[in-house]
Structure formats: structure tokens, C-alpha cells
Amino acid sequence: MSALDLETQGLHKNFGALIVASNIDFRLEHGARHALIGPNGAGKTTFVNLVTGALRPSAGRILLGGQDITHQPQAARVKRGLVRTYQINALFRRLSVLENVTLAISERDGIAGNFFRPAGHYRAAIAEAYALLESLGLADEALRPVNELAYGRQRLTEIAVSLGLKPKVLLLDEPAAGVPSGETGAIIDMIERLPADIALLIIEHDMDLVFRLAKRITVLVQGSVLVEGPPKEIAANEQVRQVYLGERAHT
Amino acid sequence: MMETPAKETPSKPGDVLDAFARRHRFRALEVLPWLVAAASYFIFPDYLALGAQILATIVFALSVDLILGYAGIVTLGHAAFFGAGAYTAGILAANGWGEPISGLLAAAAVAAVLGVATGAIILRTTGLTLLMQTLVIATMLLELANKAGQWTGGADGLQGMQVWPIFGAFRFDLFGKTAFLYCFAVLLICWLIVRAIAYSPFGRSLTGIRDNVKRMHAIGSPVNRRLLIAYTISASLAGISGALIAQTTQFVGLGVLSLERSGTVLIMLIIGGVGQLYGAFIGVPLYMIAQDRFATIDPVYWYFWIGLFMIFMVVFARGGVLGAIERVKLWYRASIGARK
Amino acid sequence: MDVSLDNFLSSAISIAFHGLAQAMVLYLISVGLSITMGLMGFVNLAHGAFAMAGGYAMTTLMNRYDVPFVFAVAAAVAVGVIIGLVLERLLYRRLYGGDELDQVLMTIGLIFVTVGAATYFWGPVAQPMRPPAALSGQLEFASRQFPVYRTFLICCGAVLVTALWLGLERTRFGAQVRAAVDNNRMAQAIGINTSQLFAITFTLGSGLAALGGALGADLLAIKTDYALENLVYFLIVVAVGGLGSIRGPFVAAVLVGTADTAFKYTAPEFGAFFIYALTMVLLLWRPNGLFGRA
């Protein structure tokens, strides 16, 4: 059994002469708390798109739990436990919060394709969805349509949907993006409380968040990995400071 | 700052779960359209033929609502399936097999095959391309029907349909009584089917596809398979509707495959409200009765007024009649809440 | 042997010629639609109505008021431009970025209104179109006869596609259009007034359509259901060509025009069936059109 939940080998993507991912070797260990940082346009979301199957690589391999998933469609990777969230909320806007999460759980359980019994009969899925909402403090708004919620609450729903899939590897794309600073606490809290056996990769710009949550950091610049290591090393790295952290030192 | 209207939020978790899990239960108000239809049978004995047409067209509108309102697929070519069903039933009846129920089932089957065949090819596309493909398919079928004169009667229409009595006992009479009851029964069955699908996990996943197809992929949903199944069921229902029209009028013309047929059903749905199950029951009668009235007053300018009405609806009254009712309800609740 | 080869060649040239003339008309009308759809993603099914308006304007002026051809055509373009401007401000602008269904329904409604209005003012009969004396008759070239007016149409088409291409590639306005077609949000972010851009482009497109409708009144008869009857062809040209492109609709129009003429000549029992089949195949192969963006 591999200790690497997620691995990429020489992952490469180019659009003609434009290289958006350059030979990326990446390792995510079991139970990892890993952050992916880099300036705007570095290719962080592209990396996530490649890994999850939303974008097809030009070269390289992707391995999930030791198995080659390079050519598998996105839905298949989700079934194997590779789940992501989106930088801009991608929710079912007209549906209720509870229904958003229930949809995910139904797909996971394989009952979403049934049309002979009403959805309401599948109590277990609904109860599980509600419990998840409770754990994230969203229970009060369970029946409200998602587009009526404040942005921070929508962001939590976004994460709830992905948690409903019981991920083994979770890729959070800027979970705090667009959230007013007063509401980020709930999100940080949730991330800290994630089960230890989920391998977590966070893309973030908020350095406080990164240094607080991550045990390892990968720095991506213009599609290729600049450096990788524990937070202290990254903070002290001169190249990283120049490229990304700027003048502010972080100890 | 996230106040919900006092009536909306149940206080206990159990209440929330119950409210959510019981959405599919039959509500008293749902009997209303059936009462109205039944009453019409007795109150308007001279209009039963029109009534039968309306009931049959509601089946067509339901079939479109399934893929449009629930799955979000905009189609300008659903008449392809309607027409396929009409011609199937028609050709059978004109060539010696006039048994209505089996004709209906044959129409459903033919339309379903057409649906799965075309759906498998075109449902992978989106937007204008998909719209074009639906339009092109229906237009191709129209051309075929036009040229295959010895089967379809071409531009003159299919003549010589002989529809046998239902169950050997109920003849299609001149007053349209049998036709009305026949369409009523078939509509009831079709409606139960569509309703069950809408409230099933499959139907819920369709609304997910409509709202955010990208996310559906990202939660592991086999989107294309779902769409294909929905499209096939929808095609089959449209075929049934076409067969009903054919059997009750004992005639099939090229118009069953026309762009006008595909377009007007969209109009009827938007009048009633899309994706809300009952839009068809409101929009179809309103449109067809209005058209019937108008045809006697001023047939030429029907297009002008209905066009103007549609523009008005889209710009000012999105959501149709049902949407307007929803807005009134919300406004009412908000004003009650404000007074407290 | 020689005779049948000569016949074949004759037929081929005739088909190519007439097909090309038809293609130019289709192109004139559809290019505006391609650009505006590519620019704003708006499904405008009523585009043919602008062509119809131009056609009615020109034929009425020429037939009823004996206005000379050139002025009648200019008036037709003006009519297209004005109606385009008014409708864009009043109606289309409300549905930008909106639901595809809303756009489809509103534009269908608009088509219906034009059918009714045209019936009211002109009745159901098709408007005849007689080309001016200067453009009538036959042209003799390489010992074959070619109708002058069709030649004129082909020249117009060629001139137009060149002018449009230059306009798009060489002017600042064209650059802005290309940027906004590529990425609307980014274009706005760098200060391009996309709303105004669209209004101008839409108006231009309507004017071009009116021009096409007027010049092509001979080929696409001006009658009350013009917008409905020709809708499929306009959409085919745009969809097969690719949205937001100048070249795409040109190539698609040539394909459709010549194929249509060829099929009608060689296999008239099947009418337009083969065009539709061809369209389906092309769209399956290239869902974004031949020159469209992914």
C-alpha cells in the first residue's frame, strides 16, 4: 500500500507555445496538510484542474493511492475519493443548502440514478447531509436556497458538498477567497477539524492561513515547482521571498 | 442579518428533515387541474374535441418540461418525437392496425428509439450547437416525411386512418366524448410518471445538472447518461402525445414535425411556468383556448399578438403564471412578517 | 464523349456560380449574427427580421415609389440600422448574460411580431424585385453566359468580406471587438466599454443583414414569414462557421450555398435534406464550428 495518496510525475500541459504546467513532480502523503502557493497566474488552479481531470495533460502521470488515473474521467476520480472545491463557488444555486449536500451524498452512495422511489425515502442520505451541515453550523439555513446565503456561508456550503463525498484526498482551491475577514474563522476552524486521515492540499494566498495550517508547502511559479519544504524553510528561502513574499519576512 | 420569514424555518432538526423528505407527498391542491378537466367534460359538451387536443398537448408540454425545466436542455426540435409518434400511430391505423392502445405503445417505442439515437449523438454538445442539432434533426424528419409520400401522404397528409374502438367497446364518437376520456386517462398516467421522476433522486440530479453541470461532474455524477435517459423518456412521452392527436383527429399532417410545433410548445410552457410540474397544465389550456377564440376573430394577426405577449412575458413576467403566484406568495408573507 | 464532358463542366460552372451568389447573400445576412453571438453569447433567432426589413424597404421604394436602386438599397440599410439600434436599446440589452431560454423565447416572439406586422402592411404575397437596368441581362465570359446581377452579388460579397476582415484586423475598433469576443470580462477589465461595443456591432450587423436582404430579394423572396423560413439556413451558416468570426460564416456560406444549389440540381427529390445531414456531421466533427473558439 502506498503512503502517497496523490502523486504526479512530470505533469505537463501546454497550449501551443504557452506552457501552463511544466514537468511537475508532486507528492501528497497520507494525512498530509500541504499548501500550494505562488503568484497569480502561477498555474495553481490549472494544476488542480489537471489532477482532477477537468483538463487533460500533455504529458506526465497522475497516481491516486498508487493507481494510475491519468486517463480517467473526472467522475471516476471522484468515485475513488479525489475531491475538490472551487475558487469561485460552484453550487446548485436554486437548490437548498441541504439539497446541495444531499445530491453529493446520493451520488457517492450510488442512489442518485434511481427513479422509482421518491428522493425523500432515502432518509439515511438526508440525515447524513443534515449532520454534516450541523457540524459546520449551517443547519439553520438548511432549507434556504443557496443563492440567498451570505457569501461566507455559501463558501462553507461549497466545502460541505465536497466533504459529503467522503474524500480521501481533498483539494481546496482558495477556501477563504472572497470571504469577509469576520467570517473566515468558521472556515479555518472547519479545516483544522478535518479527519486526520484525509490528505489535504490547500491553494491559498492568505499567508497567515498557510503558515497556520500547512506542514509542507510547495511554491509554484510560472507553471513549475520552485521549491518545496516545511513552512520554516519556505519562509527563509531567499528566492521565494523575492518572487512571492516580497519584503515581509515570516518567522 | 439573515432573517428568514418566521413561518419558514422549522425549529427542530426533525422538522427540517421531515419537511425535506416529504416534498413528494400529494397535496390537496394537486387535485385541482383534474377537477377542472372533469368538470369541463360536463360543462362544455360542445368543446370536447378541443378539450381532447388540450389534454394531449399537455402531455407534449410535460415531455418538454422534463428536459427543459428539469434538465435545462433548450430544444427547438421536440416536434421530431411528437411527429414520429403521430406518424407511427397514423401509419398503423391507415394500414390495417387501428387498435389504439397498441398504436400508442408503438408510437412511444418508436419515439424512444429516435430519442436515444439522436440523444446519444447530440447531447454531448451545448448551447447554440445543441439547439442547432435539435432543429436540424426535426427539419430533416420533416423533409423525409414530405418525400415519403406513399407512407405519410406527403404534403396532403395521411388519409384513411381507421381507429378501432378502445378495448373493443368505446367507439370514437363525433362529439369527442371518447377522445376526451381517452386523452384524460393517458394524461393522468403520463403525469404520474413525470411527477414520480421529478421527485426521485434521478429527477433531483437533473435539477443539479440544470443548475451547475460542472459541479455535477465534480461530484461524480454520470451526467451524459442521466441526460440521455431523461431525453429518451421525454421523447417517448412526446411520441405518445403525437399518437393521441393522430388517433383522436384521425389525421396526420406535416405540421406535426414543424418548427412551429416545437416553438409553440415552448411558448405554452413559459406562459405557465417552466420546471414547476404544473406549468403545462396552465399554459397549454390558456394558449390553446386563446388561439381558438382568436382564430374566429382575427386569424391573421394571432402571430402578432402572441409574439408581443411573449416578449412582454420574457421581459416582465419571467416564470409565467406559476412564477407570478410564487412572487405574490412571497410578497404576502413578507408583508405579514413586517406587520408583526 | 466530348459533349457530355462539356455539359458536365457547364453544369458544374453554373452550379458553382449560382451557389456562390446564394452564398454571398447568406453571408451578408449572417455575418452580423455571427459577430454579435460571439460577442455577447446572445441567441438571436430574429436576426432574419432585419434582413426582411431591408428587403421590404427596398422593394417598396423601388416598386411603389420608383426610387432608384442605389438609394433604395441605402434606405434599406438605414432601416436596418435604425431598427437594430432601437431594438437593442429597448429589448436585447435586458437579456444579456441571461438564460438561453429567455433569449430564444424573446426572439421567437419578435419573429412572430414581424410576421404579423408584415402581413398587416404588405399582405401575404411575395414582393417582386427587379434589378436595375444597369445590372440586368447577361454577361459574356469565356463563351458562357452569366447573369449580371448574380455577378454583382458575388462581387459585393467579395468586397464585403475583405472590408470586414480589414476592419476587424486593422482598426482599433476591430481589435476591441476581437478582444471582447475572446474574453468579455477581461476586455471590460482593461477598460473596453463592451456595452457600447455591442450596441455598435449589433447595429452594424443589422445594417448588413438589411443590405443582404435587400440585395438578395431575388434569391430569398421577401414575404411575411421570411424570418422563420430562412432561420435554419442563417443559423446553419453561423453555427457551422463558428461564432465571433468573419471568415467562418464566409466559408460556411459558400459550403451551404454551393451544396444547396448542387443538391437541388442533382437530387431535387431530397430538397434540403442533404444540407441538414451535412450540417449535423460538421457540427459533430467541429461542435464550435469550423472557425470557432473552444
- For residue B132, the distance in angstroms to the closest alpha carbon of chain A comes to 26
Q: Do B219 and A113 touch (CB under 8 A)?
A: no
What cell was used for A136? 459546520
* Overall number of domains in chain A: 1
DSSP labels for B264-332? HHHHHHHHH-TTSSSHHHHHHHHHHHHHHHHHHH-GGGHHHHHHHHHHHHHHH-TTHHHHHHHHHHHHH
Of A108, A126, A142, the CB nearest to B220: A108
Q: Given an 8 Å threshold on Cβ–Cβ distance, is B76 in contact with C232?
A: no
The owner of cell 416598386 is C63
On the question of pLDDT at B4 being above 50, the answer is: no
Touching pair C, B by Cβ (3+ pairs < 8 Å): yes
B281 pLDDT band, cuts 50/70/90, is: very high
Cβ(B64)–Cβ(B79) under 8 Å?
no
Give the mean model confidence (pLDDT) for residues B91-100: 91
For residue B303, the chain C residue with the least C-alpha distance is: C112
Q: Are β-strands A199-203 and A33-37 bridged in parallel, bridged antiparallel, or unpaired? A: parallel
Contact: B305, C43; criterion CB under 8 Å: no
Which pLDDT score, from 0 to 100, does residue A245 have? 57
B interface test, pick of C37, C91, C276, C284 with most B CB neighbours within 10 Å: C276
Residue A213 in 3-state DSSP? helix
Q: Do the domain assignments include residue A76?
A: yes
* Structural domain for B155, as ranges: 29-339
Helix, strand, coil shares of chain B, percent, nearest 5, are: 75, 0, 20
- The CA-CA-CA angle for residues A19, A22, A23, to 5°, reads 150
C-alpha distance from B225 to closest chain A C-alpha (Å)? 9
Cross-chain Cβ contact B17/A126 below 8 Å: yes
pLDDT at B2 over 60: no
| Residue B23 belongs to some domain of the structure | no
| Contacts with C43 from chain B: Cβ below 8 Å | 128, 131
pLDDT bracket for residue A109 (50, 70, 90): very high
Residue A209 in any domain: the answer is: yes
Query: pLDDT band at residue A246, thresholds of 50, 70 and 90?
Result: low
Task: Tell me whether residues B218 and A115 touch, CB distance under 8 A.
Answer: no
* C1 CB within 8 Å of a chain B CB: no
Give dist(CA B36, CA A121) in Å, integer: 31
Cell of A26: 508532486
Cβ separation of B143 and C283 shorter than 8 Å? no
Per the CB < 8 Å rule, is B74 touching C113? no
Say yes or no to pLDDT of B318 above 50: yes
Q: Which of B167-171, B247-251, C275-279 has the lowest mean pLDDT?
A: B167-171
Torsion of CA B257, B260, B261, B262, to 10 degrees: 90
Grade residue B104 by pLDDT with cuts at 50, 70 and 90: very high
> What's the distance, CA B338 to chain centroid?
39
Residue B64 lies in a domain: yes
Residues of B in contact with A113 (CB under 8 A): 201-202, 205, 222, 225-226
Instruction: Please write the tens of the pLDDT for every residue from C61-82.
Output: 998 888 888 999 999 999 999 9
Q: What local confidence, expressed as pLDDT, does residue C294 receive?
A: 52
pLDDT band at residue C215, thresholds of 50, 70 and 90? very high
B318 Cβ under 8 Å from any chain C Cβ: yes
For chain A, how are helix, strand and coil distributed in percent, rounded to 5? Answer: 40, 25, 35
Helices (H), A29-143: 44-52, 74-79, 97-109, 123-135
- Cβ neighbourhood burial of C221 (10 Å; 0-12, 13-18, 19+): middle
User: Is B11 within the bounds of a domain?
Assistant: no
Which domains are seen in chain C, by residue range? Answer: 2-127+134-285 (1.10.3470)
Contact B17 A127 (CB under 8 A): yes
B226 within domain boundaries? yes
Cα-trace Rg, chain B: 21
- Residue C3 pLDDT grade (very low, low, confident, very high; cuts 50, 70, 90): low
- Give residues 294 to 313 of B whose Cβ lies within 8 Å of C: 300-311, 313
Identify which of B124, B135, B307 has the shortest CB distance to residue C109: B307
Report pLDDT for C1: 47
For residue B211, give the nearest of A75, A95, A149 by CB distance: A95
- Rounded CA separation C209/C71 (Å): 17
Q: What is the mean pLDDT of residues C132-156?
A: 82
pLDDT band at C107 (very low <50, low <70, confident <90, very high): very high
Helices (H), C91-222: 100-122, 148-170, 172-182, 184-189, 194-215
Of B133, B143, B274, the CB nearest to C271: B143
Instruction: Tell me, yes or no, whether A251 lies in a domain.
Output: no
Looking at the domain assignment, is residue B20 inside a domain? no
Answer whether C119 sits within 8 Å of B318, measured CB to CB: no
Q: What is the pLDDT of residues A35-56, one digit of tens each?
A: 999 888 788 999 999 999 989 9
C-alpha cell belonging to residue B266: 415552448
Indicate the residue type of C279.
T
Would residue B248 count as lying in a domain?
Answer: yes
Query: Quick one: pLDDT at residue A92?
Result: 95
Q: What is the pLDDT of residues A173-201, one digit of tens each?
A: 999 888 887 778 888 888 898 999 899 99
- Arithmetic mean of pLDDT, C45-67: 92
- The pLDDT score that the predictor gives to residue C293 is 66
Residue A182 belongs to a domain with what CATH number? 3.40.50.300
CATH of the domain at B164: 1.10.3470
* CB-closest option in B74, B146, B259 to C104: B74
Cross-sheet strand order for the sheet of A18-29:
A18-29, A4-15, A59-64, A67-68
Task: For residue B201, give the nearest of A104, A108, A114 by CB distance.
Answer: A114
Boundaries of domain holding A150: 4-245
Q: Give A107's pLDDT tier (boundaries 50, 70, 90).
A: very high
- Collapsing DSSP to helix, strand or coil, B91 comes out as helix
Enumerate the residues of chain B whose CB falls inside 8 A of the CB of residue C232.
135-136, 139, 259
Question: Are C279 and B147 an interchain contact pair (Cβ–Cβ within 8 Å)?
Answer: no
Which one of B1, B219, B221, B224 makes the best mutation probe of the A interface by having the most chain A beta carbons within 10 Å? B219
Torsion of Cα atoms, C193 then C194 then C198 then C204, to 10°: 50
Q: What is the mean pLDDT of residues C86-102?
A: 88
- B157 sits in the region (left: phi over 0; alpha: psi -120 to 50; else beta) called left
pLDDT over 90 at C26, yes or no = yes
What Cα–Cα distance (Å) separates residue B250 from each residue in B25, B103, B182? Answer: 38, 13, 14
Give the confidence band of B329 by pLDDT, cuts at 50, 70, 90.
Answer: confident
Please report, for residues A24, A59, C85, C165, the alpha-carbon distance to residue C172 in angstroms, rounded to integers and kept in the order given.
Answer: 40, 39, 22, 13
Q: Look up residue C83 and give its three cell numbers.
A: 431598427
Task: Show residues of chain B in contact with A156, CB under 8 Å.
Answer: none
Residue B299: the pLDDT is: 67
Residues B67/B118, Cβ–Cβ less than 8 Å: no
d(CA C118, CA B131): 27
> Which residues in chain A are contacts of B223 at CB distance < 8 A?
75
Here the cell at position B110 is 418508436
- Give the pLDDT confidence score for residue A49 in this predicted structure: 92
- Name the pTM for this structure: 0.89
- Does residue B266 belong to the interface with chain C, where contact is any CB pair within 8 Å? yes
Show the cell assigned to A130: 443534515
**Residue B7 domain flag:** no
Distance in Å, alpha carbon of B198 to nearest chain A alpha carbon: 8
Q: For residue B263, give the chain C residue with the closest CA.
A: C108
Rounded CA-CA distance B258/C269 in Å is 19
Chain B adjacent subunits, 3+ CB pairs under 8 A: A, C
On chain B, the residues whose CB falls within 8 A of the CB of C101 are 68, 74, 266, 270, 274
- Interface contact flag, C106 B314, Cβ < 8 Å: yes
Across the interface, whether the CB atoms of A75 and B24 are under 8 A apart is answered no
Q: Which residues of B touch C273 (CB under 8 A)?
A: 140, 143-144, 147
Distances (CA, A) of B58 to B14, B191, B203, C12: 38, 9, 19, 50
Say yes or no for a CB contact (<8 Å) between A126 and B21. yes
Determine which of B12, B15, B200 to mutate to test the interface with A (most A C-beta atoms within 10 Å).
Answer: B200
**Alpha-carbon distance C128 to C72, whole Å?**
14
Mean pLDDT of chain B: 89
> Looking at this predicted complex, what is its ipTM?
0.89
A113 with B207: Cβ contact below 8 A:
no
Closest residue of chain A to B210, computed from CA coordinates: A92
Which of B23, B200, B211 is closest, CB to CB, to A114? B200
Residue A250 resides in a domain = no
For chain A, give the percent of residues with pLDDT over 70.
Answer: 96
Domain-embedded: residue B9? no
Residues of chain B that touch chain A, judged by Cβ-Cβ distance less than 8 Å: 1-2, 4, 8-10, 13, 16-17, 19-25, 196-197, 199-205, 207-208, 211-212, 214-215, 217-223, 225-226
Say how many domains are in chain B: 1
Nearest residue of chain C to residue B135 (CA atoms) = C232
Q: What is the CA radius of gyration of chain C?
A: 19
Tell me which of C187 and A159 has the higher pLDDT. A159
Taking a C-beta distance cutoff of 8 angstroms, is the pair A171, A83 a contact? yes
pLDDT at residue A18, rounded to an integer:
85
Measured distance CA(B281)–CA(B284) in Å, rounded: 6
Chain C residues closer than 8 Å to B144 by CB = 273
**Domain presence at residue A60:** yes
